[in-house]
A and B are shown apart, each in its own frame.
Chain A
Amino acid sequence: MIYWKLFYTFFKIGLFNFGGGYAMISFIQNEVVIKNNWLTNGQFADIVAVSQVTPGPVGINMATYTGYAAAGDVWGAVVATTAVCLPAFVLLLWLGKFLFKYQHTSRMKGIFAGLRPAVIGLIAAAALGLCNAANFTGFKSVLFFLVAFGLVWTRKAGPIAVLLLSACGGFLMY
């Protein structure tokens, strides 16, 4: 039964996915293309590209598209998307409960005193990792970066306005 297989496969993907969307791509490829033949390699590459230019987490985009393609209807997409979200949902509920209960104890404060600077480093690493040739194609890209940074930093524009502005800018300037 295709719905059960979709559920089982994407539940597993959701459960063992550490380190964010891009880390899970090869895992999904193994399950969806090699093991189950739900998508061809070409289709898989297409959906990775589509994920980059559509809103939303890569994991959800992958699940929705594969579910639709494998089952041939909307229910396949619903089942796969629910399944990929479910393990983290249950785990995070439990973690959240624990976190907010012990938030004010000194041990928990110590843990977060260590975590806060580390997390800032992790975000910096994500930004540095994206400073590559795919995202920065030339002088104009640097200009887009600087204008966006300046607008958000000075709170002259919100992130949504900046994204829409850079989309218009890209359309007009390239």
Chain B
Amino acid sequence: MKFFLLFFVFAKIGLFTLGGGYAMLPLMEQELVDKRPWLSRAEFLDIVAVAQAAPGIFAMNMAVLAGYRRGRVWGSFCASLGAALAPFLIILLLAVFLNSYQNNPAVIRIFKGVRPAVVALIAVPVFRLAREAGIGWKTIWISILSAGLVWLLHVSPVYIVLGAGLGGYVWAARSKI
């Protein structure tokens, strides 16, 4: 039952992931933190950090980590199978049956509406997670610096995550003495 639920929740997330992995953050937060007591909000943010730093597909990484937290190796397996299933079946159907539906005028109109909404879906967790993670005047410079480095200077997020993790480790080690 636990494993079926993991599969089902991530299949739902996979089905509605449009415009890249970040757009599904509000949906994941809703499904994993708000609706079910699977993760605390802090744990959710920790998993996002690890999923970002690791190689591979962000959405799949999230499925593996959240699945592991809930049901160890089999949890990871069921969650990632669920996340991959809908995209796999839809692309397969498209590859088999039609080739140029992205030029269909109705599809173009639909996506003119969806694209700005996807940007909003990514913007909301910025503010919500900042509030929940207790970001104050002492730490907000880290967020602004990271955003600026990635957005304006195109620094790879891998370095940001490694740098911030190392900084935190050093800070914890020094303040203990």
Instruction: Show the binding face of A for B, using Cβ within 8 Å.
Output: 14-23, 46, 49-50, 52-61, 64-65, 68-69, 74, 77, 81, 84-85, 87-89, 91-93, 95-97, 99-100, 103, 106-107, 109-131, 134-137, 140-142, 144-146, 148-149, 152-153, 158-160, 162-163, 165-171, 173-174
Contacts and interface: CB of A to CB of B under 8 A. Distances in A.
A16 to B, nearest CB: 7
Contacts of A174: 108-109, 112-113
Contacts of B14: 55-56
Contact of B142 (A81, A107, A118): A118
A163 B16 contact: yes
Nearest to B76: A93
A159 B57 contact: no
Q: Which 3 A-B pairs have the closest CB atoms?
A: A170-B113, A56-B87, A110-B172
A163 B168 CA distance: 37
Contacts of A20: 20-21, 57-58, 157
A120 B126 contact: yes
B48 A119 contact: yes
B123 A127 contact: yes
A54 B92 contact: no
Main secondary structure of the interface of B (DSSP, over half): helix
A96 B143 contact: no
A113 to B, nearest CB: 5
A6 B54 CA distance: 23
A119 B135 contact: no
A113 B171 contact: yes
A168 B51 CA distance: 32
Contacts of A87: 55-56
Contact residues of A: prevailing secondary structure = helix
Given A55-B86, A57-B60, 8 more contacts: A91-B56, A112-B42, A116-B46, A120-B45, A123-B125, A141-B115, A159-B121, A166-B113
Contact of A96 (B55, B68, B106, B169): B68
B73 interface: yes
9 contacts: A18-B158, A21-B57, A50-B94, A55-B18, A56-B90, A57-B17, A93-B76, A111-B165, A163-B117
A95 B118 contact: no
Most buried by A among B99, B108, B119, B167: B119
Given A57-B20, A85-B80, A131-B119, A91 B55 contact: yes
A6 to B, nearest CB: 14
A91 B106 contact: no
Interface string B14-27: 11111111111111
B9 interface: no
Contact of A153 (B100, B110, B124, B172): B124
A44 to B, nearest CB: 13
